């Protein structure tokens, strides 16, 4: 079906990268040297951030999340402002802008003002390397995965700045937790990514997508352990609910956000969603085949596939948030160091062996299916075995209270933990 | 980490305005990193001198006050107080009145435990989902209260010698419908939380109290039962004809926050059973005996207690033959359950302290009175 | 049904365990002597026949000329409850030994009684005003609270004993 | 990618890095100094990118900004009275002398070295870097990791309190 293949013609709407590339080419001829870079940067910003991220933040991150969590909690969610409450995020934004931005007297004013601003910048930068389509990637740099990990580690510093600057003990607690958690979770996250990189032998995001397209398999099947580690590590670094200890509202009020109000808080809130969308986009690109969908991308615009996948991935974040309680900080640390790190190392060993076998034996490419099977089994075995080794015994947990029919004194639990009378 | 790296403890104020203190309640904790080395409670922000006020009002006028101590269990509070006055004045209650009282007290226990379970899971960090589910069911109980007494929260329904009004005609079908739905709801909450690894990690082994300690600290209710002591005043010292109903006392295993949680869940099941039986065997006849409004009980004293949702809810009333109580003392379960807070929190982390506080299920209106 | 111990019953056991501990007894309650209170309570707590392991309720009552401190103690195993009282005759400096050494949980109820009646519990680890603030004038649950020096005067919306912070002086521009 | 753009970027980066480095020196607040240090790291990463060593640049950000700076921040948090003005140091003059000497030496070396300028732009790929590290330079690489481990153990030993040592049977 060559007629349906995406061409590089500028009028092929299925890939908007063609159009913008053509436009930039024209401009490059017409304008003096260098100006085109500035225009390209602006265009990229508008294309990725203003057209994609901002509406996603508002309508998926704010409205969709509130609505979905509302349904999870058996209530309606926003339904007053606009049709189906769709204008709620805009109303929220207007409200936030009108609110007075309070500054505590003893706060470090410079840091406090700087933190939300610095928090926004990496979020914009992250979307520069995400491929939305075959030609729809703003900066297809060869080290995009490292770039993504590097840039996504900057907001942690910002949260620290925010927490420190308030001179508030709750904020300091939050900041301390963020710092401690980042140190712990960066490590398994990078190790997990290493497994992926070993398979694809590339650090670029676009090339990772193309590799998956070529092999006709998604990396989530080849690297289930890395995917799990990525998901958990990302939700930890994003402060999403099972791991939102940095702003745990039932413990330390709002952590590093305690003293923020108005749009300063709004920037943090909005960008938190932005980072979550970026993480979802990254996860989709690396593990779920990016803009490909087993051939469907020939008919449907790839960027639509990509956005759909990203939102589905984001739904996972919403889902966990609506369902799970929060872990304690020491449990999170223990989980990262004692569980995720060994598992990530094990994953690395497995992948390295497979890769070596693949290269040395010059095996056929279809061997990846065998690898996928092996890795899925290995993942299940590793998770189960290691958790048993760490003392995970669900069968010993009581499910129901004991029942006695007569009042009296202490009823001892017998040796099997199932006391009865 | 603590112990190897030297650090200076610093004081953290949890409250008075804090999302998890369930009201205006404050714990001054001294923390070393995240670990609590000392905890001190500061309370009284909601003190309204109920016991003093009660000395100026007649016995009947005091019933609404008892609504406002533990505002999440007003029916139980009413019941404890009227039982004390009836004991003091030697007033009998007709069978129907007693049965209605049992129904109301047990419905109130369900509503209150819904709140307790929901707020507790909120304290563990579950992002509002269980609490909203619990509120959904609690609303239905409150609808029944509204149907019967006209009020949802502060019902003021019990009277000395019976209850204020007879049950309306639509009460029974509505209650039966609720009773049919409640076990499913309890299973749902149990399915959401009891097998949840994160929830278990947060609550198992947190705020441990041995049976010995729990007794010595005068604890009562689910706190005591969570520690493995089979003590329920409905069984031990039946009032309002509780001896007629078939139910069991749920008790925990090791006395941690999780045990209190499963004890509460099981108590809701038992309450459903009791209401079912009471409704099936609802006797006819009057719902109340006639008691003069200006009641003057003979001089003496009476201590009556009921098994409230939070524990032993006692009322100590002294009469000097006057129209108002000479002394009116409430034994507030959540106040006394707090006495072991320091034992439970010291050594844990700040997050644990919040979970412990949630597992005590405090109501600040009752603590401060 | 819970067995309600009458005053004389408790008195008999208490007298046997700690001779000279009982002051008097009424049908409702057994009155112990303050100086032997802790010893007797500990004995009642430990003895098998009483086994009063649970201090259910502790409160004070003001009878104009004296106070009473009321203890309701109960046993889970024997399913029994008893009322024990102590007279506090000195109205100016009321004091009772603290039973915290027997029931550690008594500390909050003793604090509350101290807060509202002004009865000092000697030997209490941390006796302080638990509901009201430090320096609150008077003891609210005493019957003479309204006429106490420094107490709340009817008709006044301020406590005469505490000086509120003065409002800042307003300077009037010339 | 040459000429005006690179030059412009170079001067901007230089300005930012120098100002941040000065900020590290002159800031009286320990925390501000750390944050300026982080900005310096970012500037350095920019230089790497300008030199077409994009992997090194990203690694600079990932390791220095993401990990080492966070560790430094952690150390600052654990330091008692970290927010205090730490200006009253008496080592100002020796430090100035030392830094001046060091600067002089470095400048001398830079000016004295006969820099070889290659005609085509250098391309250091991640693959090449990895191969170099694990084949030709494997000994220095391993030595560096041993050094880091030693530093880790040493730092733990340093912060051990005396009571712990007393309890320790060794």
| Contact list, C103 vs chain B (CB under 8 Å) | 216-218
Tokens at D147, concatenated = 């050094």
C105 interfacial to chain B (CB closer than 8 Å): yes
Contact C56 B312 (CB under 8 A): yes
Q: Using CA atoms, how far apart are residues C98 and A162, in angstroms rounded to an integer? A: 49
* pLDDT value at residue D80: 58
- Measured in angstroms, the CA of D41 and the nearest CA of chain B are apart by 29
The confidence band for D102, taking pLDDT boundaries of 50, 70 and 90, is: very high
Is A256 within 8 Å of A265 (Cβ atoms)? no
Tell me how long chain A is. 421
Q: How far apart (Å, rounded) are the C-alpha atoms in residues D132 and B272?
A: 73
Q: What is the reported pTM?
A: 0.82
Contact, B209 vs B340, CB < 8 A?
yes
Confidence at C149, pLDDT banded by 50, 70, 90? low
Helix/strand/coil for D98: helix
Where are the strands (E) in C6-117, listed by range?
22-25, 30-32, 54-62, 67-75, 80-88, 95-97
Q: What is the pLDDT of residue C171?
A: 54
Chain D environment of B8 (Cβ under 8 Å): 80
Minimum CA–CA partner of B7 in chain D: D78
What is the sign of the dihedral through the CA atoms of A105, A108, A113 and A119? Answer: negative
Contact status, residue A158 vs residue A115, Cβ threshold 8 Å: yes
The distance of B360 to chain A (nearest Cα, Å) reads: 15
- State whether residue A190 sits within 8 Å of chain D by CB: yes
What pLDDT score does B1 carry?
40
| Residue B248 distance to chain A (closest CA, Å) | 5
Return phi, psi of residue A372, to 5°.
Answer: -60, -45
Q: Which pLDDT score, from 0 to 100, does residue B3 have?
A: 45
What band does C165 get if pLDDT is binned at 50, 70 and 90?
A: very low
- pLDDT at residue C153 tops 60: no
Which residues make beta-bridge pairs with B42?
B26
Q: Cα–chain-centroid distance for residue A112?
A: 26
Confidence tier at C32 by pLDDT (50, 70, 90): confident
- D159 interface with B at CB cutoff 8 Å: yes
Report in angstroms the alpha-carbon separations of D74 from A89, A157, B53, C135: 36, 11, 55, 43
pLDDT of chain B along its 369 residues, tens only? 444 455 567 888 887 888 777 778 888 888 877 788 888 888 888 888 888 888 888 888 888 888 888 888 888 899 999 999 998 888 888 888 889 999 999 999 999 999 888 888 888 887 778 888 888 889 988 998 998 888 888 888 888 888 888 888 888 899 999 999 888 888 888 888 887 888 888 888 888 888 888 888 888 888 888 888 888 888 888 888 888 888 888 888 888 888 889 899 899 999 999 998 988 888 888 888 888 777 888 888 889 889 888 888 889 998 888 888 888 899 888 888 888 888 888 888 888 888 888 888 888 888 888
Predicted local confidence at residue A415, as pLDDT? 44
To the nearest whole percent, how much of chain C has pLDDT over 90?
0
C57 touches chain B (CB under 8 A): yes
A205: nearest Cα among A298, A151, A138: A138
H or E stretch covering B162: strand B162-163
β-pairing, C3-5 vs C80-88, is parallel
Q: Looking at beta carbons, which residues of chain C come within 8 Å of A409?
A: 76-77
Strands C67-75 and B311-319: unpaired
Interface residue of A404, A406, A408, A409 to substitute, partner C, most C CBs within 10 Å: A409
Structure tokens at C7: 């005053």
User: What's the CA gap between C18 and C21, in Å, rounded?
Assistant: 6
Is the distance from CB of D124 to CB of D53 less than 8 angstroms? yes
Q: C153 touching B, CB under 8 A?
A: no
Long-range contacts of A217-220 (CB under 8 A, 24+ apart): A217/A368, A217/A369, A217/A372, A218/A287, A218/A288, A218/A289, A219/A286, A219/A287, A219/A288, A219/A289, A220/A287, A220/A288
Asked whether the bond before B11 is cis by omega within 30 degrees of 0, the reply is no
Predicted confidence pLDDT, tens digits, chain A (421 residues): 344 455 666 666 666 667 777 777 777 777 766 677 777 777 777 777 777 777 777 777 788 888 888 888 888 888 888 888 888 888 888 888 888 878 888 787 888 888 888 888 888 888 888 888 777 777 778 888 888 888 888 888 888 888 888 878 888 888 888 878 887 888 888 888 888 888 888 888 888 888 888 888 888 888 888 898 888 888 888 877 777 777 777 777 777 888 888 888 888 888 888 888 888 989 998 888 878 887 777 777 788 888 888 888 888 888 888 888 888 888 888 888 888 888 898 888 988 888 888 888 777 777 778 888 888 888 888 888 888 888 777 777 777 878 887 777 777 776 444 444 3
Whether chains C and D touch (3+ CB pairs under 8 A) is answered by: no
Length of chain C (residues) = 174
Sequence-distant (≥ 6) Cβ neighbours of residue C50 within 8 angstroms: C10, C13, C44, C75, C78, C80, C82
Q: What is the mean pLDDT of residues D45-72?
A: 80
Confidence of residue D124 (pLDDT cuts 50, 70, 90): low
Q: Is the pLDDT of residue D79 over 70?
A: no
Question: Measured between alpha carbons, how far is D85 from D80 in angstroms, rounded to an integer?
Answer: 12
The CA distance from C70 to C73, in Å, is 10
Query: Which positions in chain A touch B231 (Cβ < 8 Å)?
Result: 407-409
Query: Which structural domains are found in chain C, ordered by start?
Result: 3-93 (3.30.460.80)
Distances (CA, A) of B102 to A22, B95, B99, B234, C56: 80, 11, 5, 10, 23
Contact residues, chain B, for A399 at CB < 8 Å: 190, 194-195, 262
**How remote is the C-alpha of D157 from its chain's centroid?**
24
Contact B236 A407 (CB under 8 A): yes
The yes-or-no verdict on residue D164 having pLDDT over 60 is no
Minimal C-alpha gap between D144 and chain A (Å): 19
What digits encode the pLDDT tens for the residues B58-112? Answer: 888 888 888 888 888 888 899 999 999 998 888 888 888 889 999 999 999 999 9
Burial annotation C98-123 (CB, 10 A radius, 16+ → b, else e): bbbebbbbbbbbbbbbbbbbbbbbee
The pLDDT assigned to D146 comes to 92
| ipTM associated with this complex | 0.76
Whether the pLDDT of residue D83 is over 70: the answer is no
* Nearest CA among A156, A181, A169 for reference residue A327: A181
* Contact assessment for residue B280 and residue B208, using Cβ atoms and an 8 Å cutoff: no
Measured from the Cβ of residue C168, the count of other Cβ atoms closer than 10 Å reads 6
**Strand, helix or coil for residue C84:** strand
Confidence of residue D73 (pLDDT cuts 50, 70, 90): confident
pLDDT of residue D105: 93
Domains and CATH numbers, chain B: 49-368 (1.10.645.10)
Question: Which residues have CB under 8 Å from D64's CB, separation 6+?
Answer: D38, D41, D44, D45
């Amino acid at each position: 079906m060559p007629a349906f293949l995406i061409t590089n013609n500028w009028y092929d709407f299925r890939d908007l990268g063609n159009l913008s590339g053509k436009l930039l080419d024209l401009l490059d001829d017409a304008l003096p040297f260098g100006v085109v870079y500035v225009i390209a940067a602006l265009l990229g910003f508008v294309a990725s951030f203003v057209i994609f991220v901002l509406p996603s933040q508002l309508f998926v991150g704010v409205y969709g999340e509130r609505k979905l969590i509302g349904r999870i909690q058996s209530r309606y969610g926003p339904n007053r402002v606009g049709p189906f409450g769709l204008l709620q995020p805009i109303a929220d934004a207007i409200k936030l802008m009108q609110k007075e931005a309070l500054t505590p007297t003893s706060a470090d004013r410079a840091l406090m003002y700087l933190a939300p601003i610095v928090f926004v910048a990496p979020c914009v930068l992250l979307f520069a390397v995400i491929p939305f389509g075959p030609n729809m990637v703003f900066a297809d740099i060869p080290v995009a995965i490292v770039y993504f990990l590097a840039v996504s580690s900057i907001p942690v510093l910002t949260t620290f700045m925010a927490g420190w600057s308030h001179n508030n003990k709750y904020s300091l607690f939050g900041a301390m937790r963020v710092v401690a958690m980042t140190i712990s979770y960066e490590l398994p996250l990078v190790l997990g990514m290493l497994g992926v990189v070993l398979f694809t032998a590339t650090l670029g995001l676009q090339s990772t997508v193309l590799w998956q397209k070529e092999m006709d398999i998604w990396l989530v099947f080849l690297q289930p352990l890395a995917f799990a580690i990525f998901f958990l590590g990302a939700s930890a670094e994003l402060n999403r609910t099972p791991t939102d200890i940095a702003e745990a509202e039932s413990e330390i009020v709002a952590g590093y956000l305690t003293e923020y109000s108005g749009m300063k808080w709004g920037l943090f809130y909005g960008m938190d969603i932005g980072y979550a969308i970026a993480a979802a986009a990254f996860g989709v690109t690396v593990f779920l085949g990016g803009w490909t969908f087993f051939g469907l991308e020939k008919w449907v615009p790839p960027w639509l596939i990509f956005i759909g996948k990203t939102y589905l991935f984001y739904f996972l974040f919403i889902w966990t948030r609506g369902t799970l309680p929060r872990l304690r900080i020491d449990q999170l640390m223990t989980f990262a160091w004692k569980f995720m790190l060994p598992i990530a190392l094990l994953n690395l060993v497995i992948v390295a062996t497979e890769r070596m076998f693949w290269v040395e034996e010059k095996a056929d490419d279809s061997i990846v299916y065998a690898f996928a099977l092996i890795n899925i089994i290995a993942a299940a075995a590793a998770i189960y075995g290691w958790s048993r080794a760490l003392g995970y015994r669900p069968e010993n947990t009581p499910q129901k209270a004991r029942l006695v029919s007569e009042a009296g004194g202490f009823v001892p639990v017998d040796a099997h933990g199932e006391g009865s009378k | 980490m603590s112990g190897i790296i030297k650090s200076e403890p610093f004081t953290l104020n949890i409250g008075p305005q804090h999302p998890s203190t369930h009201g205006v309640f404050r714990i001054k904790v001294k923390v070393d990193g995240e670990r609590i080395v000392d905890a001190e409670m500061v309370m009284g922000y909601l003190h309204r001198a109920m016991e003093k006020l009660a000395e100026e009002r007649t016995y009947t006028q005091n019933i609404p006050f008892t609504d406002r101590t533990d505002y999440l269990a007003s029916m139980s509070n009413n019941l404890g107080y009227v039982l004390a006055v009836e004991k003091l004045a030697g007033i009998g209650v007709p069978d129907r009145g007693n049965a209605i009282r049992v129904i109301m007290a047990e419905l109130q226990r369900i509503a209150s435990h819904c709140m307790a379970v929901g707020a507790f899971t909120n304290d563990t960090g579950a992002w509002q989902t269980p609490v909203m589910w619990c509120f959904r069911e609690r609303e239905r109980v409150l609808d029944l209260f509204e149907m019967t007494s006209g009020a949802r929260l502060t019902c003021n329904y019990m009277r000395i010698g019976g209850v204020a009004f007879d049950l309306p005609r639509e009460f029974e079908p509505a209650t039966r419908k609720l009773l049919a739905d409640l076990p499913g709801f309890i299973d749902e909450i149990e399915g959401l939380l009891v097998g949840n690894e994160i929830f278990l990690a947060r609550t198992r082994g947190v705020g441990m109290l041995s049976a010995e300690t729990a007794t010595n600290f005068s604890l009562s209710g689910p706190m005591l039962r969570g520690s493995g002591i089979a003590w329920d005043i409905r069984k031990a010292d039946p009032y309002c004809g509780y001896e007629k109903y078939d139910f069991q006392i749920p008790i925990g295993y090791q006395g941690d926050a999780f045990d209190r949680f499963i004890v509460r869940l099981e108590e809701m099941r038992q309450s459903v059973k009791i209401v079912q039986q009471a409704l099936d065997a609802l006797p006819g006849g009057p719902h109340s005996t006639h008691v003069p409004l200006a009641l003057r009980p003979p001089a003496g004293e009476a201590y009556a207690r009921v098994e409230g949702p939070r524990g032993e809810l006692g009322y100590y009333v002294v009469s000097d033959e006057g129209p108002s109580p000479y002394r009116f003392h409430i034994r507030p379960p959540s106040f006394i359950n707090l006495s072991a807070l320091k034992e439970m929190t010291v050594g844990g982390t700040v997050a644990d302290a919040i979970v412990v506080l949630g597992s005590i299920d405090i109501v600040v209106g009752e603590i401060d009175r | 049904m819970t067995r309600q111990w009458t005053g004389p019953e408790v008195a008999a056991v208490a007298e046997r365990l700690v001779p000279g501990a009982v002051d008097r007894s009424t049908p409702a309650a057994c009155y112990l002597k303050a100086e032997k209170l802790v010893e007797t309570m500990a004995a009642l707590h430990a003895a098998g026949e009483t086994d009063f392991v649970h201090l259910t309720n502790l409160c004070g009552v003001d009878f104009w000329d004296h106070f009473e401190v009321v203890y309701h103690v109960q046993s889970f195993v024997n399913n029994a409850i008893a009322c024990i009282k102590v007279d506090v005759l000195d109205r100016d400096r009321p004091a009772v030994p603290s039973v915290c050494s027997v029931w550690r949980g008594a500390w909050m109820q003793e604090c509350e009684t101290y807060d509202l009646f002004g009865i000092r519990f000697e030997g209490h680890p941390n006796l302080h005003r638990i509901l009201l603030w430090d320096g609150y004038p008077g003891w609210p649950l005493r019957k003479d609270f309204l006429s106490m020096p420094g107490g709340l005067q009817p008709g006044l919306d301020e406590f005469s004993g505490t000086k509120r912070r003065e409002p800042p002086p307003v300077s009037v521009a010339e | 990618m040459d000429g005006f753009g690179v030059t412009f970027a170079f001067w901007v980066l230089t300005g930012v890095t120098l100002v941040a480095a000065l900020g590290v020196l002159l800031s009286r607040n320990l925390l501000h100094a750390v944050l300026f240090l982080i900005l310096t790291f970012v500037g350095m990463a920019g230089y790497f990118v300008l030199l077409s060593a994009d992997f090194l640049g990203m690694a600079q950000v990932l390791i220095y900004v993401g990990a080492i700076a966070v560790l430094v921040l952690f150390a600052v948090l654990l330091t008692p009275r970290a927010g205090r003005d730490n200006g009253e140091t008496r080592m100002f003059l020796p430090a100035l002398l030392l830094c001046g000497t060091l600067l002089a030496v470095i400048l001398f070396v830079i000016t004295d070295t006969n820099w070889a300028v290659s005609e085509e732009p250098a391309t250091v790929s991640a693959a090449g870097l990895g191969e170099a590290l694990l084949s030709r330079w494997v000994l220095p690489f391993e030595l560096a990791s041993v050094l880091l481990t030693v530093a880790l153990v040493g730092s733990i030993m340093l912060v051990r309190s005396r009571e712990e040592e007393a309890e320790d049977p060794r």
